[in-house]
Structure 1
């Protein structure tokens, strides 16, 4: 029996909801711990001068919220869900804060001009199906043909029948995971990986296993060992400068991972959101193992953030399953955005914006190399970010907080942690999210913090 009790004087109408809110606050504030047994319906009704029915409705509301569970013959127990992981970026830019926390491409007025021109052209010759049709198969055949052309630039030759047009990479990732990882299965991924995987695993009902990485990503032997240990059904990788640590996986490493996947018959989900932006001769994993690889790419990080369109390439055996899961989770990609993407692929605008982005991000890397010349960090020439290991003695949470106090938002490494293994404290710094001048200033703040005595930083908070 717990000591804490709700306060009858705080009850408002409707009483059951007011009571449920009180108990919920007590759980969130730690007054009621996980596993604590709540008072019986009759006992609490007597103490609160409420009806048993009101208590029952309050407990039912708490069960609905996932905060308690009822066990027949034993009682009602606190069973709070784990808190939602915080995103690594700020939900909005505040005041004059230099925001290096959110991963985005370099954007200038020309991007807005391109989009305005595209919307103006759509107003003149909008295809009726883009507005009037409910049937994806009536709308997207032409867009899939354009996708074939775009994917060639990513190093991938595929049939349009294997392509789903999605509302960006997140939708593609979700559909791929829904298809490859049934509830209860385990998905292997980088120990420092995609920040949405943890909540996705919770929502979709699969387990995550973070595996050791080096400068090329997942270690093949670690994947081999994981497959031998447990119910691994898929491996999620970001091999081309997309991962938080900005790794670029070589062809030999890709082939080794494919060999393990084939040996244990597991699916591969390849997140390649930078697509043709990355200068490389190494083919995508999907080109090495098309029979088991889901390939995800999009336009948001290489063209314009508002162009929320991507492509999901599925292996032959999964095409029907992907189509069904895409229908129930998205129905279809937004036709107007798909129309713009297709036109930009066909008239060369998309490729032009990728070339522009490559040149712009190269300049940002030069600034980072200059300002952080005394620090070692992980990066690739076309990555939109860098991964900065903190010096010995620096506390990640304190470092991020101190940067924020000095007007710079950065992403803490813990936001990307998948495995509970040793990890050097680190931060991710976006290079494209602000102007060159602000980037230089923000990186200067980071550089000064890196040189400061950690104890002085602690005292400054």
Structure 2
């Protein structure tokens, strides 16, 4: 590190994390190149007037992020980024594999027919602005009005001026994180959370802190304590069944988390992609704390996967930053897909598909309950998946590999891990990604593996 040096005046508590974030930003920005040698722990400690232990912890954090590597006898060096993390789902369906790894809604020929009909309508009714305009403020006023109507079905009252139309939930949550969590800041979330959060933290330059959860989701006391010891700027929540453990957070728990967020002035990012699919749910967190919550929802997991449109509702203080970050990362959502979403919201097709999906997924849960009878798994009657902790000392990677060898793909639980806390091996199993006959067979394979001797499974791999 011959040119760039950390700036001691920018170090905040906790100092090790602040130092690690400074070095990480320098690596991401190219000020520290791959192969650059970092100072020894003692030299950097002396330069910055820090303890050697603080520098050591900072280097350990950077090693954990895959940004540096220590070589015995030579020193510590910036290294090429580690390989991209594997997705929790099967990348491509091959042969006769029953794919229960990808989280998707139940789909039948009816869904393709609906899309074909919508595309036929669009061919006859496409507005000139949707085909010819580069200006979001020309294309999207009608779509924001439809968004307000849909968000009302999600139990959220917002102004059209506070809504951004996005290319699905992933784009929405990325923009929300960019707006609420500047590089170097810390975002808290559930210890078992969204599988894209860990790589997003690396790409966007914020620190992710996974916190303890219980049967209702994130523990408020854990969030409160974390805010005392770290400069947390935002908390990312999935309170309504879309989280890996299929947890529906109570209204009391939501209110308790809101109280902590207000106490420490945290932004809240709420991922609610299932929206009205979940009947009898409490109000969204955004309804309890509209002044600080960035609310994300979409259509892909509750209507048709190809309807890649979502809505991001932001408080007044975040509207400008959301708009700017959406422009630089997406410019605007795809107008022609937005046209279909708006039509379906206004003519009732979207709600009709949601109600159909609710009935279909409840049937899938009945199948799971029958095939996995006696197995302790976590679910909700309207979740698209189940969460299955592995009993009897079974190794997660071995269990997933053995299922794959028997023609069934399931998602390893570690893909959703955001914390280094002690881990209970588990798998996530999608209920909507195949037809009912294949689901029955796939769950049967899982049930047989659970009954097998774990040592025999290990020998068979």
What is the CA distance between 1:81 and its match in structure 2?
2.0
Which secondary structure does the structure 2 equivalent of 1:199 belong to? helix
d(CA) in 1 for partners of 2:213, 2:121: 47
| Aligned pairs for 1:1-150 within 5 A | 77=77, 79-150=79-150
Aligned equivalent of 1:387: 387
d(CA) in 1 for partners of 2:151, 2:83: 38
Instruction: Kindly indicate whether residue 177 of structure 2 is the aligned counterpart of residue 186 of structure 1.
Output: no
d(CA) in 2 for partners of 1:78, 1:136: 41
Aligned equivalent of 1:6: none
5+ residue gaps, structure 2, are: 1-33, 38-65
What is the CA distance between 1:79 and its match in structure 2?
1.6
Aligned equivalent of 1:156: 156
What is the CA distance between 1:133 and its match in structure 2?
0.5
5+ residue gaps, structure 1, are: 1-33, 38-65
d(CA) in 1 for partners of 2:145, 2:249: 29
Aligned equivalent of 1:276: 276
What is the CA distance between 1:125 and its match in structure 2?
1.3
d(CA) in 1 for partners of 2:67, 2:250: 46
What is the CA distance between 1:164 and its match in structure 2?
0.2
d(CA) in 2 for partners of 1:401, 1:339: 43
d(CA) in 1 for partners of 2:389, 2:325: 39
Aligned equivalent of 2:403: 403
d(CA) in 2 for partners of 1:76, 1:254: 44
What is the CA distance between 1:84 and its match in structure 2?
1.9
| Aligned pairs for 1:164-313 within 5 A | 164-313=164-313
Preserved contact between residue 303 and residue 357 of structure 2 (Cα < 8 Å): yes
d(CA) in 2 for partners of 1:248, 1:460: 38
d(CA) in 1 for partners of 2:289, 2:149: 20
Aligned equivalent of 1:423: 423
Aligned equivalent of 1:377: 377
What is the CA distance between 1:85 and its match in structure 2?
1.4
What is the CA distance between 1:374 and its match in structure 2?
1.6
Change (3 A) 1:457 1:342: same
d(CA) in 1 for partners of 2:251, 2:437: 37
d(CA) in 1 for partners of 2:369, 2:170: 31
Aligned equivalent of 1:330: 330
Query: TM-score, normalized by length of structure 1?
Result: 0.84
Instruction: Kindly indicate whether residue 343 of structure 2 is the aligned counterpart of residue 349 of structure 1.
Output: no
Count of residues in correspondence between the two structures = 396
d(CA) in 2 for partners of 1:406, 1:281: 38
Query: TM-score, normalized by length of structure 2?
Result: 0.84
d(CA) in 1 for partners of 2:238, 2:433: 21
d(CA) in 2 for partners of 1:456, 1:349: 50
d(CA) in 1 for partners of 2:115, 2:203: 34
d(CA) in 1 for partners of 2:314, 2:78: 42
